[in-house]
Every structure is written in structure tokens, then in C-alpha cells.
Structure 1
Amino acid sequence: MLNKRTFLKTALSAVAASVTMLLIAHDAMAQDAAAVTPPAIHNVVLVHGAYADGSCWAEVIERLQKAGMHVTAVQNPLSSLADDVDATRRILALQDGPTILVGHSWAGTVISEAGNDPKVAGLVYVAARAPDAGEDYGALAAKFPTPPASAGLVKAGGFAQLGEAAFLRDFAGDIDPVKARVMYAAQGRISDTLFSSRTTQAAWRNKPSWYAISTNDRTTSPELEHFLAQRMKAKTIELASSHLSMLSHPDDIAKLILEAAAQAR
């Protein structure tokens, strides 16, 4: 009789343990599913800036895709503001619903102009320009310290690019030099007149905005970035980063974009 009781007790303990393990496994699966369940807004459009191309978003794209987001990177011609805005609007037209529009550097100007598109639910600026409508951005920037990268421009044939030394030191200062040289070889050359363009609207006045400041930036003045983020009343993070925070701090940039997707309406 004792052996039978012992057997039943052991069997019941084993069943209880199995049920516990199943519950734990179910909770773990639920947590994993939650980790990859995208926010209500699942579209993200990424716009690159000067001296770059869409591949500069590669690290962020990978993280957003793992989170379940639908991500598209624009390839800007960098020939004029109108051309870059048109390229961005063509990609926005392909989205199937509300979209987070993200701009790095010069692309902050582009998303400020294109961001009033009805599909855009929120704007994320990454070490980016953010001019007001009709503003002389060059005059505004002149009120802040001149970043070292400005001295590294090489002009020819109506276009400009960063020289190798300036690109590696001032543009991509905290990026692995091997990767930075690849980016240097693929950099987008800008028209001489690109930076003199003026926007006709400032979407950040109408759309919720987020801003990632690069405190070690040598391409755009960090003080100017602080001013722009405060002026637009953006939800702001600060990163001890070069101008290319989406490559040196991709986890932080992806997290900021996901926050925008979760909070924008």
C-alpha cells in the first residue's frame, strides 16, 4: 500500500512539474511574440543625408525588421531639394498606411518639406537639419560653432563631396575605419546649390517629432541640434556619437523609431 501511495505521489508531482514547465514555456513564447509584435504603425521610411546613400541605414533596418516593421530606404539624388522630396514622396506613396518618416542630416530638410503627407504620422530627426518654412538655414547655422567637416568639402563640376580625411575624421569618426572607407567610396555627391534650398513648410510644426542629438558631432554643431530639437519640442535623446549615430548606435536609433511608431497617432 505504501508503495502505491508513493507511486501516486510521485506521479502527481511529475504531472504538476510538467504543467508548470508548460506554463513557463507558454509565458516565454508569449513574451517572445510580444517582442516582435510591431506597433500599430508598422511602416518606416528612412531618408539619408548628404555624403551618404540608403545603405547607411543598414544596421537600423535590420533591427526594425526584427521588430516586425515594414522598412523602406529612400535613395536621394542629392541634386536639389525638390528632387529629394519627390524621391521621398514616391516611397511614401507605396506605403499601405500610417508611416514614421525618418531623416538624417540634410534629410531633416527633406522630411520637413515632405512630412505633411497624409500618410506621415510622426517624424524622427537624426542629427538632422530642421528648418522652419522659408528659413535661411545657412544664416541660422552661422549663429552656432562651425563644425570641422565644413573645411573638408571638395568641389568639382557643380557638385561637392567630403575629402577622405574629413570623411573619416569628422563625418564617421566613431565608425570602424574599414567600414568608413567603404562608405567614403559610395558617398553621394551633392549639388553646389543643395544647401541653399529653402522649404515651403515645416512638417514638425504639425506632426509629433523625435530627435536624436549626436553630442560628438563634427559635421553638424551639437549646439545647433539642441536648438532645433528644443524649437520643435521634440522628444529627444542624446548619444555620445559622431554624425553617423545610426551606424555607431543603431540600437538607440531603432528604439527611438519604435517609440515614435508606438506613440504617434
Structure 2
Amino acid sequence: MKRWKAIPVLFLAAVMGLVLCVTSKVQAEVIALQDGEYNVDYNILKAENDSVSMANDYFEKPAVIHVNNGKLEAVIRLNHSAWITEFKVPDGGGYVDTTTVSSDSAADTRVARFPLQSLESPLAAKIHVTVPSVDYDHDYTIRFAFDSSSITPVKAEQSAAAKNKEPESSSAKVANAAAKTENNAPNSASTAASGANDGAESRVQANVKESSSDNSVLKNVESGDQVVNPPTADTAPIAAWVAVFAVSLLFLLRRLYLSRSK
């Protein structure tokens, strides 16, 4: 009789352990990210499947994730801002406009900010795309799929960039010294400066022509390729608890079978 009482206890313990493990996995991400700013890569997926959306190229990477008291917010830069007239994210069962942090009409960009519940599951969003020059006007539902394995603290990247600039400061000193020496030859220096100015002007004119000729509509990235879902947290503990759960269930079924055969 005591053995029969032990079986439900073991089964219940396995179930509770599995539930606790899944719950801890969901909370692990927020616990791991301390307050601060992080860079994270992402892809824009279609609403109906994991193919890359045509809007993927118009959201610049990486995103910056702000963490404050366990709450996450994403900051993302959009290019071709004038085309994307609406950008909404879920809120209270509906969709609300994202917050515009800054915009640059000359560069046709803007920076949007919106809250996140998690980096582990794709975030649905709605955009409205309008291109008057070609009479293009459509609504789209897209999904932000963040790659949590790419998370990097912003401060760490800034420190690395600063270290990379240190050797450049030494070379800059050498360049300055060379520049002073060249001042002794005014004719050659003025000729070089004139040539540099002409080259810079030519590059500017080329850039203006290139930007003015950009009349393309949103490119449809017809990559029916499936985007690999962003890696999640370590699943080893879950696998272990599932194994315990399965063994416990088999043990219970075996005991029931043996008791009936008797």
C-alpha cells in the first residue's frame, strides 16, 4: 500500500518540476539582462510564415534594447521613413503608434521606440506603406524576430571602439608632423589641396545623383528561404525534466499493468 502512495507523489513531483523549469526559462531572459542598453540583431518576418518580409531592408540593424527594472524597450532606426506612414505595435489587445524619438527629413530616416515583452518570441507589428509617385498604398502585418544570442552591451562595444582608436591617435601625430613639413613647399601643398577639393566635390555630386535616381518601391525580398528562429536559452534543464516526467509516467503505467495482471 505504501508503494502505491509513493507513485502519485513521484508523478506529481515530476510535473511540478517541469512547470517550474518552464517558468524559470521564461523569466531567465529578464533576469539575465541588467539595467542598461544592449545591441541585438533581428529580422523582419512575414505574418504568415518565417520568410523574410519585404520590409526587412527598411529597418536598420542592430536594434538597441533598453532595460529598466526588468522592462524592455526597443529603439530602431527606419530608412525610407516617408514611405512608412504608420508603424504600430500591440498594446492592450489592440495596436498603438510607436513613439518617434527623432527624425531626419533630409536623410529620410526616423528613430522609433516601443515596449517589448520578451526577446524570445517574435513581436507582431503593423505598418502602412505609401509611395505616391507610383500610386502604392498598402497595409502590412510583420513580425520582429530578435536574435537573443547576439545581445551585446552597448558600453562594451563603445569601449572596444575606443581601444581601436588608440593606435590611430599615434598615427595622427605622425600625420600632423608630416603636414607641417609639407608646409615648407607651399606650391605643391596648394596643388594637392586643390586636387583633394575637386575630388571631394566630384564624390558629393555623384552621391546626389545616386540618391535622386532612387525611385524604387519597397523591394520584395523574394527569398522564400526560411529564417532560422533566434536561438533561445539553454534547453538542457527542460530536456532533463521531460525525461524525468516520461520515466515517472512509464513507471506508473507499469505498476498499474502489473497490479491488474495479478
> Please, what TM-score do these two structures have when normalized by structure 2?
0.27
Highest CA radius of gyration, 1 or 2? 2
Structure having the higher strand fraction is 2
